């Protein structure tokens, strides 16, 4: 009998009738199995990094959709598939992200972070997860201070106090993020971001301040393998070779990365990308004029194990750096400065010398005035400078002077340059002189300087140019570097900068004495040289001398007699010249108020085979005034026009479909063009380059080429065509092409 009739205890009975020995009911067995499932280990079965979706959200889809490439300070989502549903109460997941050799949390090259319900501040985090059956979708966030580079991503799974297992999820590449307001490279304009990050072609401006030529360039920062080569460049830098772990840890700092890249694009100190050559023997490589884009250069450097590619000059160095910086996520543009000073002794004057026969003389000094020089501007916040100097910063990979022991330059704030704040880092005095130095031209004879022919305060730093946003036009940005020439602000800034740069040398500075003296004295005549017609290579060059008598203090009235000696010389890119290739002497008598014109002819035979690839000639004249014994200088630089290249395409361009291209070139010269080769390039249109041998193009004849391209990517593209010959290296043309997606109506 049971003591409590309200409670019934059922004991299991087996077939023999013995209590407690029968099998466990099926219902109870199922409950027991469910309990066991709950405590079973959580096993990772597969991972989906969702590269396609993430890359599009992070503006890296042009680099491909097969691997994960994201930008810091922006979330991305991954999906994990487990052996059972994830239980946030008992399952614990820790994410581990690592970059570089021997990563540590102290150096910022290793991050460990738990899976949490919500993101916590500007730190590495995994949050905002959703559970769907055995799948877990997680949002990962990288802080704006994260080191850029290739990462491995792992998870550690643990339950309670039990054992843990670590799994490799995969790899990803982390870049700077100019779309994020938290990043030091933040650029708050979608229009500017499309130009300075996403645009994979552009123009480099070359030539002469009066004959500026747009040189189309294929940056190709999204081409296959370029992102890996960019980090290979960082890994071959001297700072990485000396201390790899520390070098990687500094890659969160855009200033550091820019300085490393500036040093690595040239090869003066290291296994840099390009070897410079400002001579005329390019037989062991390619002439700088024969490059059309960065991709071939970077791939050749990488394939050669870091052997410098031959050869580069300033526009090649700057264009390749533009590719690397845009690829890494730093807004970057290419800038050309015409009549650019190289002021090695930092005295803010460049001296040039002519003899009495108007021959421009070589000098032993390293100072020079380049016809043009090309550098980069990168957009960034400068936390290392006082407020007000953010924005565009000059970086120059051309090896001119050392900075902290290496051939590199910048970043120098453009605002600091404009305001003459030359004490601010990096290399601001050198860049300031490039655009602001004064030019002093001397008459030289008998081993000494005889008199000042000209003191030009505004002849350096002309037509500073870059590609206009959203256009193929050139934009003049000189006003961002300096106040209007001759204005009170410009002279005030110049004197402030000169005091800082000269320092203790001020007391004995001939330059400041020259400023105080007012330069050269009045002259009794004005001389000008003009071109009578458009100069073309292969033709005689016709000039006109205009001479006008004006009043001066020494000879206010009456006639004067002039002997004008002319000389023509090949003008080099460095601003120097070769020996004379033509001379002429003119006698003039000028009465007060009178103006005389004289025609001059420079025959083709005089300059044939004597010019460099740039095809520039300087005609100079020294006029000796009989009545005063003093001299005057007149100069004219001439750029010879190459033949014009025409490119036409069929109306519609579609990914994967044949696009017919017509290219024609007429040899308008009086001589044949021999050993002609054609190179086509264009990211999204051609994989790499297409080369053709065209043979010899007879004078007056036209060559026509037809070929089919099969566009690879949709969007705005540019086809660049370069035809080189023994006689002319830079016959170049381009065609903008809009490509629609495959199957688009």
Q: Which helix (H) or strand (E) holds 673?
A: strand 673-681
* Residue 419: HSE in the Cβ half-sphere, 13 Å Cα cutoff: 10
**In this structure, are residues 374 and 204 in contact, taking their beta carbons and an 8 Å threshold?**
yes
**Which residues neighbour 154 within 8 Å (Cβ) at sequence distance 6 or greater?**
95, 96, 97, 98, 166, 167, 168, 169
Helix%, strand%, coil% for the chain, nearest 5 = 20, 40, 40
Cα separation of 328 and 388, whole Å? 25
Strand partners, 13: 19
Q: Are 377 and 394 in contact (CB under 8 A)?
A: yes
Pairing relation of β-strands 474-476 and 68-71? unpaired
Q: How far apart are CA 309 and CA 301, in angstroms?
A: 6
* Of the candidates 20, 134, 45, 127, the residue with the CA atom closest to the CA atom of residue 86: 134
For 296, residues 6+ apart whose C-beta sits below 8 A from its C-beta are 681, 688, 689
Residue with tokens 């820790």: 94
Beta pairing class for 412-413 and 391-395: antiparallel
State whether residue 84 is helix, strand or coil: coil
Residue 567: HSE in the Cβ half-sphere, 13 Å Cα cutoff: 19
Q: Is the dihedral of CA 610, 611, 617, 622 positive or negative?
A: negative
C-alpha distances (whole Å) from 102 to each of 95, 132, 159, 246, 547 are 17, 37, 28, 10, 74
Instruction: Report the greatest alpha carbon distance in the chain.
Output: 152
* Phi/psi of residue 251, nearest 5 degrees: -80, 5
| Chain position carrying tokens 């080769």 | 677
DSSP, res 309 = E
Contact 206, 215 (CB under 8 A): yes
Q: Take residue 405 and report the two structure tokens written for it.
A: 């022991």
- Binding site, by residue number, is 436, 438, 485, 490
Give the DSSP H or E segment for 169: strand 164-175
Please identify every residue annotated as catalytic. 314, 373, 396
Enclosing H/E stretch for 435: helix 428-436
Distance of alpha carbon 448 from alpha carbon 452, whole angstroms: 12
Structure tokens at 537: 């290579």
Q: How far apart are CA 734 and CA 201, in angstroms?
A: 11
Measured from the Cβ of residue 558, the count of other Cβ atoms closer than 10 Å reads: 11
């Amino acid at each position: 009998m049971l003591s409590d009739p309200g409670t019934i205890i059922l004991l299991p009975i087996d077939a023999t009738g013995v209590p407690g020995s029968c099998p466990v009911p099926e219902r109870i067995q199922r409950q027991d199995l469910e309990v066991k499932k709950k405590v079973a280990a959580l096993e990772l079965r597969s991972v989906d990094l969702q590269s396609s979706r993430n890359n599009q959200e992070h503006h890296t889809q042009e680099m491909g959709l097969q691997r994960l490439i994201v930008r810091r300070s922006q979330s991305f989502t991954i999906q994990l598939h487990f052996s059972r549903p994830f239980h946030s109460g008992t399952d614990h997941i820790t994410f581990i992200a690592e970059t570089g050799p021997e990563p540590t949390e102290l150096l910022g090259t290793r991050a460990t972070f738990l899976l949490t319900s919500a993101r916590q501040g500007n730190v590495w985090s995994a949050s905002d997860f959703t559970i769907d059956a055995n799948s877990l979708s997680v949002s990962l966030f990288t802080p704006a201070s994260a080191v850029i580079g290739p990462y491995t991503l792992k998870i550690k799974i643990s339950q309670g106090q039990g054992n843990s297992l670590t799994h490799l999820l995969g790899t990803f590449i982390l870049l700077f993020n100019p779309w994020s307001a938290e990043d030091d490279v933040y650029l708050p304009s979608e229009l500017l971001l499309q130009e300075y990050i996403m645009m994979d072609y552009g123009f480099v401006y070359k030539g002469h301040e009066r004959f500026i030529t747009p040189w189309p360039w294929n940056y190709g920062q999204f081409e296959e393998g370029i992102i890996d080569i960019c980090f290979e460049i960082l890994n071959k830098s001297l700072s990485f070779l000396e201390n790899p772990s520390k070098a990687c840890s500094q890659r969160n700092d855009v200033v550091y990365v820019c300085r490393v890249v500036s040093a690595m694009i040239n090869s003066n100190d290291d296994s840099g990308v390009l070897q410079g050559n400002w001579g005329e023997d390019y037989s062991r490589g390619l002439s700088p004029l024969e490059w059309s884009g960065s991709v071939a250069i970077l791939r050749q450097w990488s394939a050669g194990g870091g052997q410098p590619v031959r050869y580069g000059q300033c526009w090649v160095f700057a264009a390749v750096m533009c590719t690397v910086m845009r690829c890494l996520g730093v807004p970057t543009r290419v800038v050309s400065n015409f009549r650019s000073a190289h002021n090695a002794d930092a005295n803010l004057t460049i001296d040039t010398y002519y003899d009495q026969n108007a021959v421009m003389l070589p000098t032993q000094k390293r100072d020079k005035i380049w016809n043009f020089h090309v550098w980069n501007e990168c957009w960034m916040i400068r936390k290392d400078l006082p407020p007000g100097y953010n924005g565009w910063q000059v970086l120059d990979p051309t090896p001119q002077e050392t900075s902290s022991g290496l051939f590199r330059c910048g970043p120098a704030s453009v605002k600091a340059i404009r305001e003459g704040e030359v004490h601010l880092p990096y290399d601001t005095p050198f860049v300031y002189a490039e655009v602001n130095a004064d030019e002093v031209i001397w008459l030289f004879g008998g081993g000494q300087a005889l008199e000042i022919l000209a003191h030009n305060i505004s002849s350096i730093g002309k037509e500073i140019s870059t590609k206009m946003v959203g256009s193929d036009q050139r934009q003049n940005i000189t006003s961002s570097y300096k106040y209007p020439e001759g204005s009170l602000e410009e002279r005030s800034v110049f004197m402030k900068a000169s005091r800082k740069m000269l320092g203790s040398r001020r007391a004995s500075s001939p330059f400041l004495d020259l400023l105080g003296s007012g330069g050269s004295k009045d002259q009794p005549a004005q001389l000008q040289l003009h071109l009578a017609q458009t100069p073309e290579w292969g033709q005689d060059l016709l000039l006109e001398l205009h001479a006008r008598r004006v009043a001066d203090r020494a000879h206010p009235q009456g006639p004067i007699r002039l002997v004008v000696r002319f000389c023509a010389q090949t003008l080099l890119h460095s601003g120097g010249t070769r020996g004379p290739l033509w001379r002429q002497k003119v006698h003039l008598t000028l009465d007060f108020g009178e103006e005389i014109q004289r025609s001059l002819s420079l025959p083709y035979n005089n300059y044939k085979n004597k010019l460099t690839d740039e095809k520039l000639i300087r005609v100079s004249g020294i006029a000796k005034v009989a009545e005063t014994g003093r001299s005057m200088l007149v100069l004219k630089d001439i750029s010879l026009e190459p033949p014009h290249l025409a490119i036409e395409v069929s109306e519609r361009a579609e990914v994967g479909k044949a696009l017919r291209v017509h290219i024609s070139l007429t040899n308008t010269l009086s001589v044949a063009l021999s050993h002609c080769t054609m190179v086509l390039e264009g990211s999204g249109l051609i994989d790499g380059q297409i080369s053709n041998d065209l043979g010899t193009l007879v004078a007056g004849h036209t060559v026509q080429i037809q070929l089919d391209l099969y566009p690879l990517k949709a969007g705005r593209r540019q086809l660049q065509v370069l035809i080189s010959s023994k006689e002319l290296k830079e016959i170049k043309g381009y065609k903008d092409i809009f490509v629609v997606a495959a199957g688009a109506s």
